[in-house]
Amino acid sequence: MFSSFSHKSFKEGLRMKKKSKKRFSEEKLYDVSLRLSKDDRDMLGLRFPVKIFVQDPFVARQHEEEGVLGLEEIQLDWEPGVDDGPTNSRIAIVDYNINTGIIAKPVQWNRQTKQFVGADDPRSFQFHQVNVWAIIQNILAFFEDPRVMGRPIPWGFDGNRLIVLPHASIEKNAYYSRKSKCLQFCFFIHEGEPVYTCLSHDIIAHETGHAILDGIRPYYFELSSIQTAGFHEFIADLTAILSALSTTQVRHAIADVSQGDIWNSQVISDLGEEFAEKDSKKRYESAQRYYLRTAQNEKKMKEIENEVIPHNCSEVLTGAMFKILAHMTTCLMKKGHTPKSALWNASTHLNRMAFRALDYCPPVDIQFVDYVQAVIRADEQTYPMDRHEYRKIVKEVFESRGIEEIYPKKPPKSVELTWKYDISSIANSRTAAYHFLNDNREALDIPLHQDFQITDLYYTDKVAGANESLPREIILEYVWKEDVLLKGKVFGQLENKKIALLCGGTLVFDERGNILHWSKKGGTQTGEAESEGKQRKTELLAFVKRLLEADLIGWIDAEACNTLTALQPPITGYQDGNVLKFEITPQFLNPSKELGE
């Protein structure tokens, strides 16, 4: 008995020792994994493969004659927290269905083999769980990559894990809900067969784009202008486009058919059919790649002057970015790249250029011109030489869309601060950052009486090209609100209520304390910003009037829960006492259309 116990104990000890050694080495490697290239991480077992659908299998079945894009293996970074569900540090899949109360068993994670178990059959719920998790995690990792934003991205809610419900409810839609801290993917039955939105790469990427932007710039949820709402849709669509292009099958299919001329190619419009299709099935199919089709547009700023639908407004930016991609691809082709190589390089560069700019955007009330300025300024920091002259393409395309003044009015050097500051103190403490802003209110157009908030303070560690380290950026965001009275009969029952004019700024410093970029939204009560602030106030009031006239606002009690958001309008108004707030409602399809089918 003793001997047996001793033997078992010895074996157990040996196993534990081996395990701890393995863990020790994994931990050590994990510590340095960010400094390793993808290939090195692959070789050292710090990445693991998962299979995802690059095209919704339902849509693929309907268009079999056009060629089916199916499963593709992608590599994801390993982290110690990967577990059943799947679950990791940032995402938890909870397969709960509200209609039936059923919770499907979570997929199991094998720590030894670094594989999910029992997720091979694409029809299984466990495969669905892995598919949706892997696509979201892949997109999040892309945004956090040093070549893009070079920093961890928080979610737009209290908490660090986004909950994802792959089979949330039975409807033809998908949602991002900040309030529920989750992404909800629904399913429906078509001719007796279930159709799952959690298998649609496009839908997942679009909703993930909303969730990620909400983490990067949470105040964009609060509407102050149609361009801000349009910007949310633009980022969601761009995430979906670029995520689709990051999959080999989609990219190769487009490159093969277009031979590099993607702007004039039918392949893009073939990916989406008429959105206004009466048949709900077709509408569902076409909606998935609708953004790709509408990206091929020539829409200009003038056409959206009185626009109230966020997605229609976003098409100016989406169209411009797609044109930039087309020009970049052509430019590379002229330099001898094959269509596949040109599209890969162009889409990768645009991907980084488009999203890296988000750190340079104002914290509130973004206008399209702010974004364009941010794209140019961020790219100047990353690629000062611009050897492919991509910035020239960007400038020309945006100017052709009617987005003027694409360079910031005030070059950073002219921000003359009254009081000196120590950038290392600012970078390390919100209080120090507050003191810095407070001391320099006049130069930064912050009214003396406004108690502003530091809404974010972080640094980035970005790289350019082949892992060339860039100077660290310190980014400081501050926000305040001014009450604007809705005065006059034109506001109907909202007369004499108040709405907030969101004001603030983003300051980007380098590690020596130089200001690289300043994107600000002035108020009505400060010196130099006065005229800008007053203009913004006028525009805000006009925007509220347009929303009222268009009947686009639905009202929800400020304290109420979100239960019937399925019936929410594109814009929801919250009324808390005498103060109003408008928020966007990110969802894939307009539910009122669905109800009428």
Partner 1 sequence: MTVEEQLLVRTYKVGCGDCIFVRIPDKDRLFHLLIDCGNFFGEKTAELKQALKNIEELLNDEKLVPKKQRGHLNLLVATHQHWDHIKGFEILSKSFKKIKIDRIWLSVGMKKDHPQGKQLRALQNRVEETIQKFSRDPDFRLDPGLLSLLSMMSLSNKDATEALTDNIPSKNSIEPFYVYRGFEEDLSAAKEREAKLDFKETTTKLSVLAPEKEIDKSYVSFASGFLGKLEDAEKSMRELVPEDQRTCVPKNISMRQFRELKISLRDASLIAALQSNHIVNNTSVVLLLEWRGRRLLFTGDAEEESWNLMWKNAHSEINEPVDFLKVSHHGSRNGTPFDPDQTDNDILDSILPVKNANVAKAVVSTKVDVIHAEANPVPFPKLLKELAKRVCNTEEYPVERGKQPQRTDKIEENWIDIAIKPKN
Residue 170 within binding range of partner 1, rule CB under 8 A = yes
29 near partner 1, judged by CB under 8 A: no
Would you tell me the crossing angle of helices 310-334 and 390-400 to the nearest 10 degrees? Answer: 140
Q: Is 217 in the site for partner 1 (CB under 8 A)?
A: no
Which region among 77-85, 134-142, 148-156, 390-398 touches partner 1 (by CB under 8 A)?
77-85
Edge-to-edge order in the sheet of strand 182-185: 91-93, 162-165, 182-185, 174-177
- Interface of this chain with partner 1, residues 486 to 505, rule: CB under 8 A: 489-495
**Total residues interacting with partner 1, rule: CB under 8 A:** 65
CA-based nearest residue to 178, from 149, 142, 154, 148: 154
Residue 583 contacts partner 1 per CB under 8 A? no
| CB closer to partner 1, 168 vs 271 | 168
DSSP character string of 222-236: B-SSHHHHHHHHHHH
Determine, following the binding rule CB under 8 A, whether residue 94 of this chain makes contact with partner 1. Answer: yes
Parallel, antiparallel or unpaired: strands 162-165 and 182-185:
parallel
Our CB check for partner 1 shows the closer of 126 and 367 to be 126
Residue from 169, 228, 373, 524 binding partner 1 (CB under 8 A): 169
Cis amide prior to 86 (ω within 30 degrees): yes
Give yes or no for residue 181 binding partner 1 (CB under 8 A).
Answer: yes
CB nearer to partner 1: give 44 or 550.
Answer: 550
Contact between 98 and partner 1 by CB under 8 A: the answer reads yes
Q: Which of 62, 75, 180, 248 binds partner 1 (CB under 8 A)?
A: 180
As a whole number of angstroms, the distance between CA 55 and CA 236 comes to 17
Among 233, 466, 517, 459, which residue's Cα sits nearest to residue 349? 466
- Helix pair angle (339-356, 310-334), 10° resolution: 130
- In a 13 Å sphere around the CA of 571, the CA atoms on its Cβ side amount to 27
Q: Does 400 bind partner 1 (CB under 8 A)?
A: no
**Parallel, antiparallel or unpaired: strands 553-557 and 571-576:** parallel
Among 34, 102, 117, 485, binds partner 1 (CB under 8 A): 102
Report the alpha-carbon distance of residue 132 to residue 104 in Å, rounded.
15
Query: Positive or negative, the Cα torsion across 487, 491, 496, 499?
Result: negative
Select 123 or 512, whichever has its Cβ closest to partner 1: 123
Q: How far is the CB of 173 from partner 1 (least distance, A)?
A: 9
Based on CB atoms, which residue is closest to partner 1, 394 or 566? Answer: 566
Beta bridge mates, 550? none
Task: For residue 197, state whether it binds partner 1 (rule: CB under 8 A).
Answer: no
Q: For partner 1, which residue of 41, 47, 147, 167 counts as binding (CB under 8 A)?
A: 167
One of 70, 80, 194, 465 touching partner 1 (CB under 8 A):
194
Given candidates 132, 162, 182, 326, which one binds partner 1 under the rule CB under 8 A?
182
CB 231 within 8 A of CB 368: yes
Note the residues at the interface with partner 1 (CB under 8 A).
83-85, 87, 92-100, 102-106, 125, 161, 163, 165, 167-171, 175, 177, 179-182, 184, 187-189, 194, 489-495, 548, 551-557, 560-569, 592, 595
